[in-house]
Amino acid sequence: MSDTPLLQLQNITKTFGSVQALTEVDFEVRAGEVMALVGDNGAGKTTLVKCVAGTHAADSGRILFEGQEVHIHGPKDAAKLGIEVVYQDLALCDNLDVVQNMYLGREISRAQILSEAPMEQHTAETLKSLAVTTIKSVRQTVATLSGGQRQSVAVARAVMWNSKLVILDEPTAALGVAQTEQVLELVRRLGSQGLGVMLISHNLHDVFETADRITVLRLGRNVGVFERRATTQQAVVEAITAGMPTKVSGIPSTAGAGAGP
Amino acid sequence: MTSADVVGPDRAPTLEEEQLATGLRGVWDRTKLNVRTGNLGPVPIIVGEILVVAIFGFTATNFFTSTNFVNLITQTAGTCMLAYGVVFVLLLGEIDLSIGYLAGIGALVVAELQLPGSKWQMSGILAMLLAVVVCALIGGVQGSIVAFVGVPSFVVTLAGFLIWQGVILNKLEQRGTIIIQDRWINYTDLYIFSPAAGWVIAAIFTALYPLSVLYRKIVARGTQIAQQSWTMAILKTVGVGIAAFGTVAICNNGKVITTSLGLPLAGVIMVLFFVLLTFLAKWTTFGRHVYAVGGNAEAARRAGISVSRIRVIVFALSGAMAAIGGIIFAAQVNSVALTFPPGNLLLNAIAAAVIGGVSLFGGRGEVRGALLGAILIGTLQNGLNTLSISNGWIYIVTGLVLLGAVTLDTFAVRLQARSGR
């Protein structure tokens, strides 16, 4: 792990009319770590993601990527930096097969004629490198896959494009127990392969299974960053429901600040 | 003309299939498995066509003649062109109601431009090209309103339906009919190849099929894209050969009074566009994006596909195919009259695509469906005509076949879902 965080947000503020969605939020993800972003409904998780993905522009604040200040004006800018978002509704085409979905919009072609073989080989390699073994054939249509397999395809697609930061929005929300386990395993593997992972979740069990650190948002403010090994679910729940902003300087402190009794 | 299966569904073999024997035994086992799991493909519609031909063959005295067979091809070609365009529109989950009268506009433009003594007096070929461009532009404008303004395609093309009907009325109310004398235009439907040329064309198309299988095997080498076994490919090549040579044999046998007939150009046009558009749908980036937009437009948009661009192009394609169909219809009667387009052209074209298994909800269907559907509808209407049955019954029977085909397809889809495909 290098010293400069992969992604660093400083003093991000965003208002919608009179609603203050984010207030001076600091946030960071390091390469090779899974950073969970938790908070109650309306805490500002989705807004923060959209600021990073380029869907929203923050009113004020700085975004640093690999130490450089960047301006993200749309999903294409984000993709160019190596930031990929896997949205909750996955955005897969049911009528297409796994390979076709993986290369959707970025097909390999010669003079507009599709080159199927390299696309299929690369898809198979990517799935293998992520140890996604439950998908029997990459030529199955996505309609025939289970929820966990679909999530795996969506994640694999995000990883395939030399991405450095993968943002996962509620990846296990619609999954059963076994499939959730599959996906969490995949999330851990992303981190161990050196990617930065930003995991948005409601489910603290999932968060404690996978995350290295946990950032808690409450009412649009950062109310604490926790080292997973050094904290308890109880402490995080307290922060989610009653945490107070503890901002001292530009960089949020780690190790359970603000969660004290 | 043929039932060439240039590109089957890109589906991986299931476990059960992988364990099947190869060779003829394998073909038989695979057929049984496909029936059980509802993976019928174009089989029901081909069986339906054979039944229809058999029934009319026994009941109508002048249905089962070579001359009528040539008629059938020249009558079906126009509808088939429109139906090809419909496939792409339906794949997007949209609808184009304007194509019937757009076909009329195409025919009208051609007729006006070629008219001797008018200020244009163009050659037929240039006139046809311009007509196709005009209708593609009209389709593109309609598509732009759908794509950029967000008006539902049903409404935009319903407006087009009324507008282009009005334009045709205005242009032809006084003059009644414009005669088309240009031979190139009239050739599109009625040019008859000499018997020898017919055999050569049959040989070319028969050779084309194994070549397409070979191309597919080369492209898909080292991948898991579903492959035909060599046995199946040989069987199908024989089938295509029988269909092609049989078609030419029957056509060559036809006679009107003393003139002998042969393979009509209209039939060749049908197959050529089938091959071309199947390639476009299955093997190009554009085709892939059409399926993606139809399957999940939001996913396609997030993947960076310009959904609007795809929509505009598809509606332009639909307009172009309508113009080609309109020209073929005009060529059939050597004129454009106030009664254009003939019969229920719009509904027949949509019915042909739907009978051929193209889903109205987008993302599912193939170009071959339009060809097979158009042939089935054409045969039905031709057969009922030779029986001198009233138009009322023709509509009723066509409607029942449409209902039956879609019901069967619904069952098949349910079976497929149950068997996990």
Pick A7-93+161-242's CATH classification: 3.30.499.10, 3.10.580.10, 2.60.40.10, 3.40.50.300: 3.40.50.300
**B residues 359-378 near A, CB within 8 Å?**
363-364
Task: Decide if B65 contacts B254 (C-beta within 8 A).
Answer: yes
- Grouping H, G, I as helix, E, B as strand and the rest as coil, residue B374 is helix
Burial (0-12, 13-18, 19+ Cβ within 10 Å), B210: middle
Asked if the model's pLDDT at residue B243 lies above 50, the reply is: yes
DSSP state letter for B260: E
From CA A147, how far away is CA A142, in angstroms rounded? 10
Burial (0-12, 13-18, 19+ Cβ within 10 Å), B148: exposed
Q: Which chain A residues touch B10 with a CB distance below 8 Å? A: 97, 100, 139
Question: At a CB cut-off of 8 Å and minimum separation 6, what does B19 contact?
Answer: none
B418 and A CB contact within 8 Å: no
Give B4-13 pLDDT, tens digit per residue: 333 333 444 4
Task: Name the residue type at position B27.
Answer: V
Asked if the model's pLDDT at residue B37 lies above 80, the reply is: no
pLDDT for position B231? 84
ipTM of the complex: 0.82
CB contact under 8 A, A107 and B292: no
User: Minimal CA–CA distance to B300: which of A107, A202, A148?
Assistant: A107
How many contacts does A have with B, using Cβ atoms within 8 A? 103
Cα distance from B91 to chain A (closest Cα, Å)? 11
CB contact under 8 A, B283 and A141: no
pLDDT for position B2? 36
Query: Between A91, A95, A114, which is nearest B283 by CB?
Result: A114
The percent of residues in chain B predicted with pLDDT above 90, rounded, is 52
Could you report how far apart the first and last alpha carbons of chain B are, in Å? 31
In this prediction, residue B245 has a pLDDT band, given cuts at 50, 70 and 90, of very high
In this prediction, residue B225 has a pLDDT band, given cuts at 50, 70 and 90, of confident
**Optimal mutation site among B282, B296, B310, B416, interface A, most CBs of chain A within 10 A:** B296
Asked if the model's pLDDT at residue B196 lies above 90, the reply is: yes
Q: Which chain B residues touch A105 with a CB distance below 8 Å? A: 289, 292, 300, 303-305
Asked if the model's pLDDT at residue B17 lies above 70, the reply is: no
- Grouping H, G, I as helix, E, B as strand and the rest as coil, residue A97 is strand
The residue ranges of every structural domain in chain A are 7-93+161-242
- Grouping H, G, I as helix, E, B as strand and the rest as coil, residue A44 is coil
Q: How far is CA A16 from the centre of its chain?
A: 23
Mean pLDDT of B310-329: 97
Give B49-85 pLDDT, tens digit per residue: 899 888 888 888 888 888 899 999 999 999 999 999 9
In this prediction, residue B419 has a pLDDT band, given cuts at 50, 70 and 90, of low
Task: Decide if B263 contacts B193 (C-beta within 8 A).
Answer: yes
From CA A180, how far away is CA A51, in angstroms rounded? 27
In this prediction, residue B15 has a pLDDT band, given cuts at 50, 70 and 90, of very low
Task: Decide if A190 contacts A14 (C-beta within 8 A).
Answer: no
In this prediction, residue B372 has a pLDDT band, given cuts at 50, 70 and 90, of very high
**Optimal mutation site among A76, A97, A99, A116, interface B, most CBs of chain B within 10 A:** A116
pLDDT for position B12? 44
A 10 A CB-CB count for A46 gives: 20
pLDDT for position A54? 83
pLDDT for position B10? 41
Cα distance from A84 to chain B (closest Cα, Å)? 11
pLDDT for position A247? 57
Residues in chain A: 261
Task: Decide if B46 contacts B255 (C-beta within 8 A).
Answer: no
The CA dihedral of B55, B60, B62, B65, to the nearest 10 degrees, is 10
Domain architecture of chain B: domains with CATH: 1-36+195-263 (no CATH), 41-191+285-418 (1.10.3470)
Cα-Cα-Cα-Cα dihedral sign, residues B69, B70, B76, B77? positive
pLDDT for position B5? 34
User: Picking from A101-115, B7-21, B149-163, B316-330, which range would have the lowest pLDDT averaged per residue?
Assistant: B7-21
Asked if the model's pLDDT at residue B228 lies above 80, the reply is: no
Query: Between B223, B302, B421, which is nearest A120 by CB?
Result: B223
Query: Between B219, B223, B284, which is nearest A112 by CB?
Result: B284
Task: Return the axis-axis angle of helices B265-283 and B367-386, rounded to nearest 10°.
Answer: 150
Which pLDDT tens digits describe chain A residue by residue (261 residues)?
A: 456 889 999 999 999 988 889 999 999 999 999 999 999 888 888 889 989 888 888 899 999 999 899 998 877 788 889 998 888 776 899 999 999 999 998 899 988 988 888 899 889 988 888 888 888 888 888 988 888 888 889 888 888 887 899 999 888 887 888 888 888 888 898 888 889 999 998 889 889 999 999 999 998 899 889 999 988 888 899 899 888 776 544 444 444 444 443
